[in-house]
Amino acid sequence: MEVLNDFYRVAENPYEYSRELKKSGKRIIGYFCSYTPEEIISASGVHPIRLFGTGGDITLADSHLQPYCCSLVRGALEEALEGRLDFLDGTVFPHTCDSIQRLSDIWRLNTNFGFFADVVLPVKLNTESSREYFADILKKFRLDLERGLGVTITDDKLKTAITRYNNIRRSLKALYEMHSKEPGILSGRDLWAVTRASMIMERDDLLVKLSLLKEALKKGGRSGKSEGKKRLVLAGSVCDHPNVYTIIEDSGGVVVWDDLCTGSRYFEGTIEENGNPVESIAARYAERLVCPAKHLSNTARGDNIVRIVKKHDAGGVVFLLLKFCDPHDFDYPYMKEFLDRENIPSMLLEVEDSLPSEAQLKTRFETFIHML
C-alpha cells in the first residue's frame, strides 16, 4: 500500500520532515505529553509536533538530569542540547508527571527555541472547580500564544481546529477498530507508523492520507495471517518501539488495542463543536481516558483496562513501562489487581530508549503467550 510509505517516511524521519515543513514557511512548536492542547496551537497557525526521546546515546543531558529520570525526558533533552531540534520555534510543557515538570525548568534555562510555555493543568479532574481552572489555564495559554507568536487566535480559528482534530481522532479510532476486527489488515508496526506520524504530519495532509489509507484497507489490507494468534492489549505511557509489535507477532501474539498516550489515549474522546471553544477543549482533556499523572477517580484506570480487554476480546495485557517512569510504576500494582480480579493474565516489561535483545524479548513474549 503506497499510502503507508508516506506514514513511514514521516514516522521514521520526523526531523527531516519537520525541516521540509519549516522550509515551506511553517513555524513549528514541539510538545511533550498528550495533555498538550494541540488544537489551540494549531488554531494559532503554528504546526505542533510531538517530541520523543533520542534512540541514541545520552551524554549531554546527563549533566542536567539524574540517570533515574525516564529515558524519554533525558533523550528529548539530549536531542535539544545536541542541536538536532533546530527546526523548532518553541516548546510547550503541560504540567503532568514530575519528570516533565522538571524538564521544563531545565529546558527553559538551557535551550533557546523562542516561544516557551508551561501549561499548569490541574491534577484532579473530577471536580467542578478543577474543570473551571482547566478552562482558565487554556484561556491563558491562548493569550500566551497570541502574545508570544504575534498572532490572533479567533473563536472561528479554534472551531476549525476543533473540527480538524475531531476528524483526526475519529479516523484513528476507526483504523484501530478495523485492525481490532481483522488484525491481519495491518501489522502492529504499520499502526505504530500511522499513529506516530499523526502527531508529526501537517494535519490537513494527514486527514487526506488517513482517508486514503482507510479506502485502501477496505479494498484489502496486507492480508497478514492473524488466525490463531493470541489477542493482546499493550499498556503503559508511550510505545516508541516498533520492534515490540513485530516481536510479539513473531511470538504468536497480536496487539489489538492499547492504553498508551501514543495510542488510544491520544485519540479517544471528541470535542463539542458548538460550545465555547476553549471550554469545550478543556472538557475533552478533563474527560479523556486518564493517565496516572492525573486523577479522575479511584477506579477509572482499572475499570478502563478491564473494559478494553473485554471489548477487544483480548487474552492478556502487556505492560510496557519505561524505566523510572514513576506514575506508571506506582500505577502498575493497582492495574494488575483489577486484571487479576477478572482472571486476565498480564506481564510487565520494563524498557529504556533502546530495547533488550530481540532473542531475550522473544523468549519472554513466547512464554507469556503460550500461557494464555
- Measured from the CB atom, is 188 or 327 closer to ligand SF4? 327
* Closest to ligand SF4 by CB, 163 or 270: 270
Beta strands 90-94 and 316-322: pairing type?
A: unpaired
- Of residues 33 and 213, the one with the C-beta less far from ligand SF4: 33
Nearest distance, CB of residue 255 and ligand SF4, angstroms: 18
Q: How far is the CB of 227 from ligand SF4 (least distance, A)?
A: 33
Nearest distance from residue 71's CB to ligand SF4, in Å? 8
DSSP 80-98: HHTTTTTT-SEEEEES-SH
Are the CB atoms for 189 and 229 separated by under 8 Å? no
Grid cell listed for 7: 506514514
Q: How far is the CB of 330 from ligand SF4 (least distance, A)?
A: 10
CA neighbor of 154 nearest in space, from 164, 146, 165: 146
What is the nearest approach in angstroms of ligand SF4 to the Cβ of residue 288? 9
Residues sharing a CB contact under 8 Å with residue 90, sequence separation 6 or more, in sequence order: 27, 29, 30, 46, 113, 114, 115, 116, 117, 148, 149
Nearer to ligand SF4, 70 or 244 (CB): 70
Q: What is the closest distance, in whole angstroms, from the C-beta atom of residue 76 to ligand SF4 in the complex?
A: 9
Helix/strand number for the chain, H first, E second: 15, 8
Q: How far apart are CA 323 and CA 329, in angstroms?
A: 8
CA atoms within 13 A on the CB side of 285: 33
CB count in 10 Å sphere of residue 113: 18
Closest separation in Å from C-beta 226 to ligand SF4? 28
**Residue number with CB closer to ligand SF4 (97 or 168):** 97
Closest C-alpha to 91, from 30, 138, 142:
30
Contact footprint for ligand SF4 (CB under 6 A)? 33-35, 70, 72-73, 96-97, 99-100, 237, 261, 291, 293, 322, 325-328
CB 32 → ligand SF4: shortest distance, Å?
Answer: 7
Residue with cell 533557546: 112
Q: Pick from 323, 364, 319: which is nearest to 345 by CA? A: 319
Q: Three-state DSSP class for 137?
A: helix
Phi, psi for 304 (deg, rounded to 5): -65, -40
Cell of 299: 477506579
